[in-house]
Structure 1
């Protein structure tokens, strides 16, 4: 589907539990490229691995943002168990240990992550004239119906089923 725009109002089903994982880095010393460059370059390989093994590892989708000094990736996962299992798998663990080694005692760059476990019906989304994006890429993308016209109705959809 690529970047095709879906005209109209769309939402996602919110019946499934999921995990939102936010990970990123902050360049503390912009001129110290030798310190933050290797950290920045380590991430694309891990992202490629996720997309190549999506179904197997429980990875649903992600979006990336690059600011002047800070990056952020919002990832959607099927479950916390899947995310934690991926974090411990041999292939990723080697890449993560290498990544972590480059950030230890490296005041030129900072890294962070946040993990949120979200129950079905405790999230909602709306997309107007957008391509598949965010939750719209991660979950079942569908037209907004009369029963799901407002955020309140989309949040209550699971209870109504």
Structure 2
């Protein structure tokens, strides 16, 4: 559903924005990059089935370099998931290092941002629920929240 009004999203307390993806450097070596690419859907299934692990929302874009944006409740939950031998991530990471390592066929990347109230702002116009608007609450971007500076202040309350 497209929301035609001007909206902004907020999330109570601290949260984490985790950007992750891969880059296919040698597309003809399907046997090298396909196992890496197919590991993420397994992880996402697991995370969606167990919301207590901390993932609130994710969205992905595909190209030669993929981009997934994930919103996590806390840095502790993200790190616990990454290090847990009984979850999907650690075995997938070990398999990547064994099969690909640093041979250059496929690249892996991620960036992690810890976000506190007052450290973010956003606006959505003519958009469905998207990004932080999926993880948090949407409210009208009016009054104090009409400007970017106002949204920054309002999120710091």
- TM-score for both structures, normalised by structure 1: 0.88
Residue 14 of structure 1 contacts residue 121 of structure 1 at CA under 8 Å; is this kept in 2?
no
CA 158–71 in structure 1, closer or farther in 2 if over 3 Å, else same: closer
- Residue of structure 2 equivalent to 1:65: 61
Q: Deviations over 1:35-60 (max 9, x none)?
A: 11111111111111111112x01111
Asked if 2 retains the 8 angstrom alpha-carbon contact of 1:6 and 1:131, the reply is: yes
Counting only pairs closer than 5 Å after superposition, residues 75-86 of structure 1 correspond to structure 2 as 75-86=70-81
Higher strand share: 1
Unaligned 5+ segments in structure 1 are: none
Give me the CA root mean square deviation.
1.6
The residue number in structure 1 matching 2:29 is 32
CA gap 1:74/1:115 in 2 versus in 1, 3 angstroms: same
Structure 2 residue aligned with 1:88: 83
Q: How many residues align?
A: 155
- 8 A Cα contact 2:13 2:116, kept in partner: yes
1:14/1:123 contact within 8 Å kept: no
Other-structure match for 2:131: 134
- TM-score (normalised: structure 2): 0.90
- The CA distance in 1 between the partners of 2:55 and 2:80, in whole Å, is 11
